[in-house]
């Protein structure tokens, strides 16, 4: 009996998306113990989403009709494991053999033709780990994971690498990713990613010109910055929707 606005605020998704998740993850989340007090799939899904949307176990347990914090932790672990097993259904990088362009005609002077995606990074905060703590300390002197993200012009995320500590440079994350191996091997002609200055220039990766000379290079940097705005918006939406990040 919550309104769509209340559901969106509490769980980060609308009712239809939550119902779809319950259907999709149901086979993994359905209790097989036969216990009379086993939590329903819908409770597990909404409990996990409440935590992801707020970043608070206390808020999540209160919004999930008062289940215990240990039950909340179990719901979250089961939900994330089930979701990760299906990640490839939702996150898929386009085949580099076919051109994908940003909005507008490939021939337009105001777009980059052949853009496969927009590459960047976002740091996900975490508590200081007990092991190898310095590796997780980032340039801002806080602890994080350095997550590589690629999205398209519409904001759909097409590639994620989320296993490197916060001290790891963006370029190192890219060099050690399956995405770099894919593009190095495919050697796509006329197709590339766009990335910021923290990445090296590659045949398939276009970065800003550090010291532009003349109107052509200035225009290139302007168009590059405009195109990359879609990635900045995507990261902001992701953090706003899922406060746990």
Q: What are phi and psi of 13, to 5 degrees?
A: -130, 160
Please give the share of the chain, as a percent, with pLDDT higher than 70: 87
Count of alpha carbons within 13 Å of 73, Cβ hemisphere only? 3
Q: Determine the distance from the C-alpha atom of residue 178 to the mean position of all C-alpha atoms in its chain, rounded to a whole number.
A: 16
Q: Tokens at residue 22, please?
A: 């319950």
70 three-class SS: helix
Give the integer Cα–Cα distance in Å for 17 and 62. 22
Tens digit of each residue's pLDDT (9 = 90 or more) over 147-182: 999 999 999 999 999 999 999 999 999 999 999 999
Tens digit of each residue's pLDDT (9 = 90 or more) over 17-50: 999 999 999 999 986 555 555 788 998 999 899 9
Give the integer Cα–Cα distance in Å for 55 and 165. 20
Looking at residue 163, its pLDDT comes to: 94
Q: Tokens at residue 65, please?
A: 């009709």
**pTM (2 d.p.):** 0.85
Looking at residue 112, its pLDDT comes to: 76
- Best CA proximity match to 29, nearest among 79, 90, 70: 79
Tens digit of each residue's pLDDT (9 = 90 or more) over 100-113: 444 333 333 456 77
Region 125-145: what's the mean pLDDT? 93
Looking at residue 113, its pLDDT comes to: 79
What confidence category does residue 188 fall into, taking pLDDT thresholds of 50, 70 and 90? confident
Q: Tokens at residue 197, please?
A: 């200055």
27 three-class SS: helix
Is residue 75 exposed (0-12), middle (13-18) or buried (19+ Cβ within 10 Å)? buried
Beta strand extents in the chain (DSSP E only):
115-125, 144-151, 157-165, 192-195, 205-206
Q: How far apart are the first and last CA of the chain?
A: 28
Give the integer Cα–Cα distance in Å for 94 and 115. 10
Dihedral of CA atoms 99, 88, 21, 121 in degrees, nearest 10, equals: -70
Give the integer Cα–Cα distance in Å for 15 and 4. 7
Res 96 pLDDT > 70:
yes
Secondary element (H or E) of residue 172: helix 170-175
Res 131 pLDDT > 70:
yes
Tens digit of each residue's pLDDT (9 = 90 or more) over 50-81: 999 988 776 666 665 567 888 888 889 999 99
Query: From the CA atom positions of the chain, what is the Rg in Å?
Result: 21
């Amino acid at each position: 009996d919550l309104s769509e606005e209340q559901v969106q605020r509490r769980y980060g998704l609308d009712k239809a998306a939550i119902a779809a998740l319950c259907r999709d993850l149901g086979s993994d989340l359905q209790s097989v113990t036969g216990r009379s007090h086993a939590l329903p799939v819908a409770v597990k899904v909404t409990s996990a989403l409440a935590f992801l949307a707020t970043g608070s176990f206390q808020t999540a347990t209160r919004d999930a009709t008062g289940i215990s914090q240990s039950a909340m932790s179990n719901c979250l672990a089961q939900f994330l494991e089930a979701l990760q097993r299906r990640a490839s259904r939702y996150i898929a990088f386009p085949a580099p053999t076919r051109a994908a362009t940003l909005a507008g005609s490939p021939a337009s002077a105001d777009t980059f033709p052949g853009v496969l995606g927009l590459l960047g990074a976002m740091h996900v905060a975490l508590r200081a780990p007990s092991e190898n703590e310095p590796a997780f300390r980032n340039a801002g002197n806080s602890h994080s994971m350095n997550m590589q993200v690629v999205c398209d012009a519409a904001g759909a995320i097409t590639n994620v690498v989320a296993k490197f500590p916060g001290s790891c440079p963006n370029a190192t994350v890219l060099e050690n990713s399956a995405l770099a191996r894919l593009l190095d091997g495919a050697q796509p002609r006329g197709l590339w990613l766009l990335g910021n200055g923290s990445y090296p220039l590659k045949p398939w990766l276009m970065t800003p010109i550090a010291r532009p000379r003349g109107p052509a290079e200035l225009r290139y940097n302007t168009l590059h910055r405009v195109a990359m705005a879609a990635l900045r918006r995507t990261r902001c939406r992701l953090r706003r929707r899922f406060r746990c990040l």
